[in-house]
Structure 1
Amino acid sequence: MFKLISILLRGRAHDAEQAFADRNAVPLLAQQIRDAAQSIQSARRSVAIAMAQNEQERTQHATIASRIDDLEARACAALAKGNEALAREAAESIAYLEAERDQSEKAQAQFTTAIDKLKGTIRLSEMRLQELQRGERLARATEEAQKLDVAGADVGLATLDDAEQTLARLRIRQSQNEMTASALKAMETSTRPAGIIEKLANAGCGAPLHTSADDVLARLRNRINPAA
């Protein structure tokens, strides 16, 4: 008996909740659209920040490349004068900067990929938002028209229209969440193979990922004495 009463109470509570949602479907939809617009605006700001960070990374990369060129020229001059110790110091700095340069290039590639995905998501979301805004305006106009003709208005159908609009909005928000989760997962997994490759390279499996000071010295010697 208690179980039946509990089921009945939950059923009535559900009916009351649905009835309340049906009666307030249009303002509910309008608020959901406003929330979606704010989310899209936040996403735009996030993309703008990411683009600014990527531009900073490009500037840093250019600075590193310029320092490498300057150090290589000076190291060549030191080798030409027979100053092996000073040339080695320069070579060590060059090797360190080349590693930083390579990491900067990887970071730029990741930034570019992520930004492109976010831009695509935002464009799709903006199209959906515009369609919802048109639907919301039409729903409001329909509701006002039905109020003018109470005798011929079918309140049940109007409620179904509003509920369908709300359901469509919910599906769009769920789709956005799935797309965002997929983009984040892709960004996370994209770095994992790099770690494995680095471990293999450090273990002597395959070509090394980073230039050593000895490699830089050998390259500079070949540049000075090509015949040797």
Structure 2
Amino acid sequence: MFNSILTLIRGRAYDAEQAFMDRHAVPLLAQQIRDAADAIQSARRAVAIAIAQNEQEKSRHAVIVGRIADLETRAVAALQKGSDELAREAAEVIAQLEAERDASEKAQAQFTRTIGKLKATVRASEARLQELQRGERLARATEQTQKLSEACDDNSGLATLDEAEETLARLRAYQDRCEITASAMKEMDAANRPGIVIEKLASAGFGAPLGPSADDVLARLRERMNSAA
């Protein structure tokens, strides 16, 4: 039973760890990429140092080869003049220089192999880093898109748009009803006013006119004119 509990605890701890990794995958990826970029930069520096050391070794090798050639020329001259002892001293130095020359050549060969491997590693690592950086940009864009999608799907946020549209529709319907009601009330008020009804009847020729007409005014002016004559 105790072992089962421990196993369950480890299982839940693993699930929690994986859930944590999933939630923070993007910033974790970004930090890992920065660490990888730093490591690649260190590898570049290592390549540069190896190249510089190899160039120094080449210069040293050239000096050694030059000294050997010079001593050989002088040793031959000593032998030609019978100075065997001096020639022997020169030969001993030449032997030492040749050992140093051989060691320098081995060092150069090792540097060349190491530099080649380091350059290949750096090139491959740079390609992988660029791919990771492109992947990180895509992951960030996807994360932002998902956040926007979640915001659009969140009823507590954008769902108020539906409510606002319904409110606007009710408001417009209410305003239309108010306008229709006001117009109908005006018509009913007009129909219920006696003066307005009498005016309509008089205008239609039913009953005495409510005021003088143009014909009445002309008739009155003619009558005044005839009386004056």
Q: TM-score, normalised by structure 1?
A: 0.65
How big is the shift at 1:121? 0.9
Q: Tell me which residue corresponds to 2:74.
A: 74
Large movers: runs of 4+ above 3 Å: none
Q: Could you list the per-position Cα deviations for residues 113-153 of structure 1 after superposition, in whole angstroms to 9, with x for gaps in the alignment?
A: 11011101110110110011001000000100111111788
Distance in 2 separating the partners of 1:22 and 1:113 = 42
SS of match in other structure, 1:150: helix
Q: Could you list the per-position Cα deviations for residues 83-132 of structure 1 after superposition, in whole angstroms to 9, with x for gaps in the alignment?
A: 11111000011111111111111111111111011101110110110011
Query: Which one-letter code corresponds to 1:75 in the other structure?
Result: A
How big is the shift at 1:73? 1.1
Query: Which one-letter code corresponds to 2:75 in the other structure?
Result: A
Identity, % of aligned positions: 73
Unaligned runs of 5+ in 2: 154-229
1:36 and 2:31 are equivalent in the alignment: no
Distance in 1 separating the partners of 2:7 and 2:122 = 43
How big is the shift at 1:60? 0.3
Q: Tell me which residue corresponds to 1:94.
A: 94
Distance in 1 separating the partners of 2:134 and 2:48 = 28
SS of match in other structure, 2:150: coil
1:131 and 2:131 are equivalent in the alignment: yes
Q: Tell me which residue corresponds to 2:146.
A: 146
Q: Tell me which residue corresponds to 2:5.
A: 5
**Number of residue equivalences:** 153
Distance in 2 separating the partners of 1:113 and 1:68 = 27
Query: Which one-letter code corresponds to 2:84 in the other structure?
Result: E
CA RMSD in angstroms comes to 1.2
Q: Tell me which residue corresponds to 1:204.
A: none
How big is the shift at 1:71? 0.5
Query: Which one-letter code corresponds to 1:60 in the other structure?
Result: R
1:193-208 aligned within 5 A:
none
Distance in 2 separating the partners of 1:30 and 1:119 = 25
Distance in 1 separating the partners of 2:19 and 2:38 = 28
Q: TM-score, normalised by structure 2?
A: 0.65
Q: Could you list the per-position Cα deviations for residues 154-209 of structure 1 after superposition, in whole angstroms to 9, with x for gaps in the alignment?
A: xxxxxxxxxxxxxxxxxxxxxxxxxxxxxxxxxxxxxxxxxxxxxxxxxxxxxxxx
Distance in 1 separating the partners of 2:31 and 2:21 = 13
RCO (CA 8 Å, sep 6+): is it higher in 1 or 2?
1
Q: Tell me which residue corresponds to 1:121.
A: 121
